[in-house]
A = this chain, B = another copy of it.
Amino acid sequence: MLIKKFFSIKEMALWTRWETLLFALLAASVTILYDIFDQKWIVLPWTPIALVGTAVAFIVSFRNNAVYGRLWEARKIWGGIVNDSRTFSIHVGDMVTNEYAKEGEALAEDELKKERIILVHRHMAWLTALRYAMRSKKKWESFMEHQTNREWAKKIHTPEFVIDEKDALAEYLSEKELEFVMRVGGNKAATIIKLQSQHLRRLKEKGLLWEFSFLVLEKRLASLLTLQGKSERIKNFPYPRQYATLNVYFVWVFVALLPFGIVPEFAKLGDELHDAYPFISEFFIWISIPFSTLVSWVFHTMERIGTVGENPFEGSANDVPISTIARNIEIDVRTCVGDSFIPDPFEVKENVQM
């Protein structure tokens, strides 16, 4: 997530340089053919092109709206993970106690605290597994295939691309559990929730967790599973590819037609200047090149900007900053149960939170 007010003009210009060049070349070709090679017939009527432009503005706007919806929903889900994590750690703190302990099962306070810390660490392991799953690569996530996107990506720091998942999990799980999670395969995060549930059950059977508190915490696990599932849903179900296809083809149809409609408008204006400004009149048509490029750029950038938020966990600068969120959760919950080690927040690079 970008955390400054705007992308600068320079950033935008660099980011869109290849297509801008293409638009300029296209506009230039048409103008050259028209003016230098005197092929005055390569023109198209403007009004139907404008109608296509209006239709394109419609569908691209709707798409960007839908994409914003995806992004916002993704952020809400991770906001929900923050909330449930805090609640989980507070509940663990005040529900894992000796009050209902069965005979001979009561523990010393520091042993109780150890149980609580195991639960909270395992929770961090769940968060870590989820984080890595979200950053995995999907076939339709082609952000990185675009050179100017890759340039951006190189500048920023995405922890999941740097640290190995197993190493990351090892910080939170016992060796035995880590080995189990890696071996079982399938959905690692769900496996970790399963381990949490088994731990809670053991605590309940010893009376270290009141049986109705057990139900409350099981409900919390169910809620975490739901948030995990929602996050996976956004990861695994892209903006429908048929719509995405449509958008990109329509924009290119419009952009391709545009110079053919704009050049004659400039030719007409140029002709009107003929008597008064014979010199300028001759070159006036060349203004159509930057003008046509600018209009193309507006429509194409509108489309492209929608694309970058389509997959909010792809690892781009416009992602939902799940690494940062996860780290902040870690700081909160470790503080809450009085853990001995509190990590630092992730650093921000190039004004981008990951």
User: A-side interface residues toward B, CB under 8 Å?
Assistant: 1-7, 9, 12, 40-41, 43-48, 50-55, 57-59, 61-62, 64-66, 68, 71, 75-76, 79-80, 82-83, 86-87, 90-91, 93-94, 97, 99, 138-140, 142, 184-187, 190-191, 193-194, 197-198, 200-201, 205, 210-213, 215-216, 218-219, 221-222, 225-226, 228-230, 232-233, 237-238, 240-246, 248-250, 253, 257, 261-262, 264-266, 268-269, 273, 276-277, 280-281, 284, 287, 291, 294-295, 298-299, 301-302, 305, 308-309, 318, 320, 331-332, 335-336, 351
Contacts and interface: CB of A to CB of B under 8 A. Distances in A.
B218 A91 contact: yes
Given A2-B242, A305-B242, A45 B335 contact: no
Q: Which 9 A-B pairs have the closest CB atoms?
A: A83-B229, A79-B233, A45-B265, A2-B241, A55-B57, A94-B201, A87-B222, A7-B245, A83-B226
- A interface, by DSSP: helix, strand, loop or mixed? helix
A263 to B, nearest CB: 10
A165 to B, nearest CB: 19
Contacts of A76: 233
A268 B46 CA distance: 12
Contacts of A291: 44, 48
Contacts of A140: 2-5
A40 B273 contact: yes
A226 to B, nearest CB: 4
A216 B218 contact: yes
Contacts of A47: 46-47, 50, 265
Contacts of A244: 5-6
A273 B281 CA distance: 20
Given A6-B248, A48-B262, A86 B190 contact: yes
Given A59-B302, A61-B62, A211-B210, A5 B241 contact: yes
Contact of A79 (B55, B65, B71, B229): B229
A240 B71 contact: yes
A7 B41 contact: no
A301 B246 contact: yes
Contacts of A65: 62, 65-66
